[in-house]
Amino acid sequence: MAAPFDKSDDSVVVVIGTGAGGGVLAGELAVKGINVVALEAGGRYLPEDYVNDEWDSFAQLAWTDARTTSGNWRVSRDFSGLPAWIVKAVGGTTVHWAGASLRFQEHEFRVRSEYGNIPGANLLDWPLTLQELEPYYDRAEKNLGVTRTHGIPGLPGSNNYLVFEAGAKALGYKNVHTGRMAINSEDYDGRLACQQTGFCFQGCKWGAKWSSGYVDIPRGEATGNLEVREHAHAARIEHNSEGKVTGVTYFDKDGNEHRQRARLVCVAGNSFESPRLLLNSASAMFPDGLANSSGQVGKNYMRHMTGSVYGIFDKPVRMWRGTTMAGIVTDEARNDPSRGFVGGYEMETLALGIPFMAAFLNPGAWGREFTTALDSYENMAGMWLVGEDMPQETNQISLSPDTKDQWGLPVVNVHFSDHANDIAMRNHAYRQGKAIYEAVGATRTMPTPPYPSTHNLGTNRMSEKAHEGVVNKWGQSHDISNLFVSDGSQFTTGGAENPTLTIVALAFRQADHIAEEMSRGAL
């Protein structure tokens, strides 16, 4: 079925990365009859391959190629080589995402106008409105089978959720439910309903949780128009003297270098690898890297304001049973500067197993303050806090001057420091999270610092004006018409919501645009 394309075939679209953005885009272009070669640095693992074991799964799926870090974020101290916890595999990070699928709020597409000038923040309005994206949000929700949308019922509440719900309601929160999740509450799209197994971060062995790796990619392959090359690490994007891209060089598993010619290239390697690829593709014509006339490639790195609160009770909760993310409070997602910060945040339940809890509860801590918390693991409930962080030009992905990967390519350095607004928001969220658990009798609460990044955004941002960003409202680079960015790095700002539904909506929209432009001969 899946047609192998010739490497000299310059009529194909090359998509780099097969995660939320690239996987959906590649599948959708193929369905539209467009020939696609998708290059994926990782291997292919399917539900039968996933393992219900945190560290074994990490070894199977995580991106562990070298990266370096700087800035005052604590991750740089505690996990200096692991700035992000993301996946290298067909399906990308959608293999181990939790599945929370939320739309941006209307004002989050125009925060520069809404929030005004925030010192130190490089805010910009999106060149796109919620209204324009709505039809694509609909498609994305149907594709992912998002609960509580389009008549799909919500998931049942787990123990972790029930504690959270009781506390939130006692505090007076109104919008409390088991979430809009890309997890089947009943059989959907040929996939089973969730069995509350509780290893969503390790890949869903039932296939109940959506992943582009086993939904969109095989759908595309079935058309005969999509070839996925696994263990194919894109190294450089090449261009001709007219400044149009012509192909991609990549390394296979054995370190052999190949060149795939292309009519069009779409970059979707997540917000570290996408700018890295553009920067590593610098040439005499584009000395600062491809698509970088604005100097914004790699800048404005956002990772969401995050943090967790764990609460300990005098009776068992057993939070690990059931979906990893089991419910949400959205009341704090509004923009209400009277709280002391702009933007908003979501509170979402979260559970980790003992191995990850030990690693992430308070990295570096030791002694009884730490171990007595773990001793109460059975009586623990957990939530994750996720909110809009401020884009700052100084928070950036750049090429490391001295560290190279196994292919000899400069790796990225990830520089991040919190903005004052991020800190004010986190402190507010910690207080509210603690209050939720105390309202139902927590005997101890623990404000837990951010984990290595799971949401990576903004490093090739969309802008109306070419000098303010890297791509236009279609994800097409301002500088090179046949070069697109198709992942979370397009985000102009981050919103309070988990990003994947928006990444997927943008991918569907981009697929429509590319198909139209190709058929009218413009691309």
Partner 1 sequence: MQKENVLTRRDLLARSMGVAGAFTLGGSFIAATDAAWALEVKHLQPRTMATLVQMARDIYPHDSIGDEFYAIAVKGYDTPEQAPGIEEGIAMLDGMSGGGYLDIGWEADRNAVLRRVQDTEFFQMIRGGLVVGLYNQKEVWPIFGYEGESFSKGGYMDRGFNDINWL
Ligand X SMILES: Cc1cc2nc3c(=O)[nH]c(=O)nc-3n(C[C@H](O)[C@H](O)[C@H](O)COP(=O)(O)OP(=O)(O)OC[C@H]3O[C@@H](n4cnc5c(N)ncnc54)[C@H](O)[C@@H]3O)c2cc1C
Q: How far apart are CA 195 and CA 208, in angstroms?
A: 8
Instruction: Write out the H or E segment, with its range, that includes residue 509.
Output: helix 500-519
- Over the window 168 to 207, marking each residue x when it contacts ligand X by CB under 6 A and - when it does not, the resulting string is ---------------------------------x------
Q: Between residues 397 and 446, which has the closer beta carbon with respect to partner 1?
A: 446
**What ranges make up the beta strands (E) of 290-395?**
305-312, 328-329, 345-349, 380-387
Name the residue whose CB lies closest to ligand X: 19
Does residue 169 interact with partner 1 by CB under 8 A? no
DSSP string, 250-267: EE-TTS-EEEEE-SEEEE
* Residue 277 binds which of partner 1, ligand SF4, ligand X, none (CB < 5-8 A, kind-dependent): ligand X
Does residue 83 interact with ligand X by CB under 6 A? no
Does residue 82 interact with ligand SF4 by CB under 6 A? no
Q: Count other Cβ atoms within 10 Å, centred on residue 282.
A: 15
Among 176, 204, 385, 446, binds ligand SF4 (CB under 6 A): 204
Q: How far apart are CA 350 and CA 327, in angstroms?
A: 9
Does residue 371 interact with partner 1 by CB under 8 A? yes
Give min distance, CB of 203 to ligand SF4, in A. Answer: 7
Both tokens of 307, joined, read 């943090």
Q: Token pair 């005052």 is at which residue? A: 72
Does residue 337 interact with partner 1 by CB under 8 A? no
Site for partner 1 in 378-407 (CB under 8 A): 378
Neighbour-count burial of 247, counting CB atoms closer than 10 A to its CB (0-12 exposed, 13-18 middle, 19+ buried): buried
* Residue 85 binds which of ligand SF4, partner 1, ligand X, none (CB < 5-8 A, kind-dependent): ligand X
Give min distance, CB of 33 to ligand X, in A. Answer: 23
Radius of gyration of the chain (CA): 22
Q: Between residues 36 and 440, which has the closer beta carbon with respect to ligand X?
A: 36
Strand order in the sheet with 68-70: 68-70, 410-415, 396-404
Does residue 100 interact with ligand SF4 by CB under 6 A? no
Does residue 349 interact with ligand X by CB under 6 A? no
In 3D, which of 429, 427, 450, 383 has the Cα closest to residue 164?
383
Does residue 329 interact with partner 1 by CB under 8 A? no
* Residue 42 binds which of ligand X, partner 1, ligand SF4, none (CB < 5-8 A, kind-dependent): ligand X
Among 317, 347, 511, 514, binds partner 1 (CB under 8 A): 317
Among 123, 133, 194, 277, binds ligand SF4 (CB under 6 A): 194
Residues in Cβ contact with 37 at an 8 Å cutoff, skipping those fewer than 6 apart: 5, 12, 13, 14, 15, 227, 229, 260, 262
Both tokens of 363, joined, read 């990295």
Using the contact rule CB under 8 A, the part of the chain among 360-368, 386-394, 410-418, 482-490 near partner 1 is 360-368
Give 390's DSSP letter: -
Kindly report the length of the chain: 523
Alpha helices, DSSP H, located in 116-228: 130-144, 159-171, 216-222
* Residues binding ligand SF4 (CB under 6 A): 183, 194-200, 204, 206, 208-209, 323
* Residues binding ligand X (CB under 6 A): 16-22, 39-42, 85-89, 92-94, 96-100, 201, 233-234, 268-270, 273, 277, 325, 454-455, 487-488, 498-501, 503
